[in-house]
Structure 1
Amino acid sequence: MKRSRVTALPVGLAAALTLTACGVPPSDVIEAGEPASVVFSPDPKPSVPGVVSLYFLDDGDLTAYPRKIDDPADLRTVVGRLFGGPTTSEAVTATTELPRLTNTPDVTAGSGNGVSIKLPNDVAPLSHPAMLQLACTVAHVSGSFAAVPADAHRDGVLAAPPVNAQRSPSHTSVHVLGDGWSMTQSADSCPDPPQP
């Protein structure tokens, strides 16, 4: 027991000498304005669940089907849900001309009213009703949205920066890119979604 006290004393003394010998001279209190304060920035707004109109076909007619989505301004998610097809309850009246995709396609919002959608290589060119489904759904995503840019390393497609843009439904157009084909469809003839 005595041996550990004897060892601890020189170690503690060495530590105290090291701390006091750091070369900083003592000084008086220096007044330099108001005390520091911290400003907390507000938390980013969480996404608010909402309802979007996904356009499917009802007896061949383009029809808006309201669908609850966690972030209704997330264009990529909305397009992914459209490619997922009608739900079981929607399928009573709704059909789709869009192929079912296992992964959400790349969606890029342009600086104007254009939106590009890059489909996987094995997808055949889309029918006219399928293009209308896409154009009308994209056109009625409410408010401004930030689209996810296309993957810069996939198939040599260059990524565009995310764009926050206010869309005019009647002036929106969708450009769909496939393997060796591309198609463009405007939303000027889309039926209006039902009012809440």
Structure 2
Amino acid sequence: MKGSRAGALLVGLTAALTLAACGVPPSDVIQAGVPASGMTSPSATPRASVAIPLYFLRDGDLASYPRKVYDPGNLGAVVRLLSDGPTGSEAETATTELPRLTDTPNVTFDDGKVFSVQLPKNVPPFSHLAMRQLACTLARVKPPSAPAPTDTSRGSVASALPPTAQHSLVDRSVQVLGDGWAMTQSAASCPGSQG
């Protein structure tokens, strides 16, 4: 027993002398601010936001309200953002007919003309104005691998549409698939579209 106690004492004394010989003085906890967080790669570039027009109702008619998004190609997220309705400042002049969605819908873009929106369960059929809001918003979002049509009804969002984008905007439509119902709406009646 005496040998093991003496061995432990010798190991402890050796460790203490080794630390003292390194020149590291003992200290208390030093408060130095916020803990370090993850490092970023110098080659990583921050994602830029893009302004897209969301269509709400102003005095009973469609009007675009620019919103900044980081991934306009995520069409389901765009529809969900639209269904969330106007922001606090937009609500001074804007209303919506769209119901608030509890889940992000599945949105596809077929043949360069038709957006198909598969809604979550238990969403009631949309009104005519709600369908127009949805059709006009999606018609002006750049779907994956398509040229970006723009909106001319508010100068802060975009410039004039080139002739090819004007025709493709008019040709676009939205098909909404609900729980036991389906509706289709053309973007031809959107503000700023030309036929």
Instruction: Verify the 8 A CA contact 1:139 1:169 in the aligned structure 2.
Output: yes
TM-score by length of 1: 0.62
Aligned to 2:80: 80
What does the per-residue CA deviation read over 1:167-195, in whole Å, with 9 as the maximum and x for residues that have no partner?
722111000001111000000010139xx
- Counterparts in 2 of 1:179 and 1:56: CA distance versus 1, 3 Å: same
Aligned to 1:5: none
| Residues 1:129 and 2:129 are matched in the alignment | yes
Amino acid at match of 1:127: S
TM-score by length of 2: 0.62
Kindly report which structure 2 residues correspond to 1:108-127, keeping only aligned pairs within 5 A, or say none: 108-127=108-127
Aligned to 2:181: 181
- What is the Cα-based RMSD across aligned positions, in Å? 2.1
Kindly report which structure 2 residues correspond to 1:45-84, keeping only aligned pairs within 5 A, or say none: 47-84=47-84
Aligned to 1:105: 105
Provide structure 2 residue ranges, at least 5 long, that are not aligned to the other structure.
Answer: 1-42, 150-167
> How many angstroms apart in 1 are the aligned matches of 2:123 and 2:182?
11
**Superposed displacement of residue 141, structure 1:** 0.7
Instruction: Verify the 8 A CA contact 1:135 1:185 in the aligned structure 2.
Output: yes
**Superposed displacement of residue 108, structure 1:** 1.1
> How many angstroms apart in 1 are the aligned matches of 2:101 and 2:80?
8
**Superposed displacement of residue 48, structure 1:** 2.8
> How many angstroms apart in 2 are the aligned matches of 1:46 and 1:172?
32
- Counterparts in 2 of 1:120 and 1:74: CA distance versus 1, 3 Å: closer
Aligned to 2:171: 171
What does the per-residue CA deviation read over 1:42-99, in whole Å, with 9 as the maximum and x for residues that have no partner?
x899753110000000111100001111123332221111011111111111100000
> How many angstroms apart in 1 are the aligned matches of 2:47 and 2:107?
19
Provide structure 1 residue ranges, at least 5 long, that are not aligned to the other structure.
Answer: 1-42, 147-163
Amino acid at match of 2:71: D
Query: For this pair of structures, how many residues does the alignment match?
Result: 132
> How many angstroms apart in 2 are the aligned matches of 1:98 and 1:135?
12
> How many angstroms apart in 2 are the aligned matches of 1:69 and 1:140?
14
What does the per-residue CA deviation read over 1:110-133, in whole Å, with 9 as the maximum and x for residues that have no partner?
123101001122111100000000
Percent identity, aligned pairs only, is 56
Amino acid at match of 2:56: F
> How many angstroms apart in 2 are the aligned matches of 1:80 and 1:118?
12
> How many angstroms apart in 2 are the aligned matches of 1:44 and 1:117?
33
Instruction: Verify the 8 A CA contact 2:135 2:174 in the aligned structure 1.
Output: yes
Aligned to 2:24: none
Say which is worse superposed, 167-176 or 43-52, in terms of deviation.
43-52
Q: Secondary structure at the match of 2:53?
A: strand
Q: Secondary structure at the match of 1:174?
A: strand
> How many angstroms apart in 2 are the aligned matches of 1:169 and 1:44?
35
Amino acid at match of 1:56: F
Instruction: Verify the 8 A CA contact 1:111 1:165 in the aligned structure 2.
Output: no
